[in-house]
A and B are shown apart, each in its own frame.
Chain A
Amino acid sequence: MNLKNMSTCDRSMALTGQPPKEISRNQKIATLIGLSGLAIILLAAFNVSFPNKALWLSISMAAITTGTIWFSWEAYSKKLPGIKNDGVWFKSISSQGFWGWIAGIALTTFYIVLYFYPEYLGLVKDGENKGVIALFDPLSRLLSGNPASQWFVYGTLYTVAILAFGIKFMWKYRHNRYERIRTMSVMFFQTAFAFIIPELMARLNGDKILNGGSLPYYDLKNVWPLNYYNFEGYRIKSFLSSGDIGFALLIFGILSVFVITPILTYKYGKRWYCSWVCGCGGLAETAGDSFRHLSDKTVKAWNIERWVVHSVVVFVTLMTTAVIYSYLGTDTSKYWLTKSTFLIGVAVLLTVVFTLVMVFKRKELQKDAQYGAIGYFVIIMALIGMHFFSGDGNVFLFKSETLRKSYSFLIGSIFSGVIGTGFYPILGNRVWCRFGCPMAAMMGFQQRLFSKFRITTNGGQCISCGNCSTYCEMGIDVRAYAQKGENIVRSSCVGCGICSAVCPRGVLKLENGPLQGRIDSNQVLLGNDVDLMTLVNKK
Chain B
Amino acid sequence: MENIVIIGNGIAGVSAARHIRKLSDKRIIIISAETDYFFSRTALMYVYMGHMKFDHIQPYENWFWEKNRIELVRGYVTHVQPKEKQLLIDGSRAIQYDKLIIATGSKPNKFGWPGQDLHGVQGLYSKQDLDLLEVNAPDRETCKRAVIVGGGLIGIELAEMLRSRDIPVTFLVRENSFWNGVLPKGESQLINEHIEEHHIDLRLATNLKEIVADENGKVKSVIISETGEELPCDMVGLTAGVTPNIDFLKDSGIELGRGVKVNRFLETNVDDIYAIGDCAEQHEAIGNRRPIEAVWYTGRMMGETVAQTICGNKLEYKPGHWFNSAKFLDIEYQTYGWVFSERNKKDHEEHFHWRHATEKLCVTVAFDKDSHRFLGINTFGIRMRHEIFDRWLTEERDIDYVIEHLRDANFDPEFYKNYEHEIVSKFNTDFGKSIKPKKKSIKRIFNLKPQHN
Contact = CB atoms under 8 A, between A and B. Distances in A.
B238 to A, nearest CB: 10
Nearest to B76: A4
Interface in B315-344: 315, 318-321, 323, 325-327, 329-330, 332, 334
B330 A80 contact: yes
B90 interface: yes
A9 B40 CA distance: 19
Nearest to B60: A480
Contact of B61 (A83, A299, A502): A299
A505 B332 contact: yes
A505 B51 CA distance: 16
A155 interface: no
B139 A19 contact: yes
Contacts of B141: 17
B304 A536 contact: yes
Interface in A490-539: 497, 500-502, 504-506, 509-511, 513-514, 516-517, 524-532, 535-536
Contact of A463 (B40, B74, B135, B442): B40
B52 to A, nearest CB: 5
Interface residues of B, number: 86
Interface in B285-327: 296-298, 300-301, 304-305, 308, 313, 315, 318-321, 323, 325-327
A86 B297 CA distance: 27
A6 interface: yes
A260 B411 CA distance: 29
Contact of A527 (B46, B132, B320): B320
Interface string B111-131: 000000000000101111001
B152 to A, nearest CB: 16
A3 B33 contact: yes
B334 A506 contact: yes
B25 interface: no
Contact of A470 (B56, B76, B126, B319): B56
B318 A532 contact: yes
Interface residues of A, number: 75
Contacts of B390: 459, 525
A190 interface: no
Nearest to B322: A527
Classify the secondary structure of A's interface with B. Answer: loop
A177 B418 CA distance: 12
A9 B131 contact: yes
Contact of B386 (A88, A458, A466, A535): A458
A430 interface: no
Contact of A466 (B59, B76, B138, B298): B59
Given A19-B50, A479-B59, A532-B305, A466 B43 contact: yes
A528 B318 contact: yes
Contact of B416 (A3, A86, A178, A517): A178
A471 to B, nearest CB: 8
A1 interface: yes
A363 interface: no
A81 interface: yes
A80 B197 contact: yes
Interface in B41-84: 42-43, 46, 49-53, 56-59, 61, 74, 76, 78
Contacts of B305: 528, 532
A252 interface: no
B59, B315, B413, most chain A CB atoms within 10 A: B413
B43 A19 contact: no
B413 A497 contact: yes
A3 B245 contact: yes
Interface string A1-45: 101101101111111111110000000000000000000000000
B318 A177 contact: no
A525 B447 CA distance: 14
B383 A509 contact: yes
Given A461-B386, A465-B43, A529-B320, A509 B11 contact: no
Contacts of B297: 460-461, 526-527
B434 interface: no
Contact of B139 (A18, A458, A465, A500): A18
A27 to B, nearest CB: 15
B414 interface: yes
Contacts of B85: none
A13, A299, A458, most chain B CB atoms within 10 A: A458
A16 B142 contact: yes
A303 interface: no
Given A18-B139, A505-B327, A506-B325, A9 B128 contact: yes
A514 B327 contact: no
A509 B303 CA distance: 27
A529 B107 contact: no
A536 to B, nearest CB: 6
A517 B443 CA distance: 12
B49 A505 contact: no
A76 interface: no
A402 B27 CA distance: 58
B394 to A, nearest CB: 9
B417 A513 contact: no
B131 A10 contact: yes
A366 B356 CA distance: 48
Contacts of A60: none
B332, B415, B451, most chain A CB atoms within 10 A: B415
A81 B330 contact: yes
B53 A535 contact: no
Contact of A85 (B43, B51, B76): B51
A177 B413 contact: yes
Interface string B131-158: 1101100111110000000000000000
B386 A459 contact: yes
Contacts of B53: 89
B195 to A, nearest CB: 12
B165 A20 contact: yes
B131 A13 contact: yes
Contact of B296 (A18, A298, A463): A463
B198 interface: yes
B164 interface: yes
Contacts of B350: none
B19 interface: yes
A469 interface: yes
Contacts of A65: none
19 contacts: A4-B90, A6-B126, A6-B128, A14-B138, A17-B138, A20-B139, A20-B166, A80-B329, A82-B330, A85-B49, A458-B386, A460-B300, A463-B43, A467-B52, A514-B442, A516-B446, A524-B387, A528-B320, A531-B315
Given A4-B78, A463-B43, A532-B304, 18 more contacts: A1-B126, A13-B135, A17-B138, A85-B49, A89-B52, A90-B50, A175-B330, A458-B411, A459-B385, A460-B323, A465-B43, A467-B51, A470-B56, A497-B414, A511-B414, A513-B442, A526-B304, A529-B319
Q: State the 5 A-B residue pairs at the shortest beta-carbon distance, nearest first.
A: A459-B386, A82-B330, A17-B138, A506-B383, A465-B43
Interface of A: 1, 3-4, 6-7, 9-20, 80-83, 85-91, 175-178, 181, 298-299, 456, 458-461, 463-467, 469-470, 479-480, 483, 497, 500-502, 504-506, 509-511, 513-514, 516-517, 524-532, 535-536
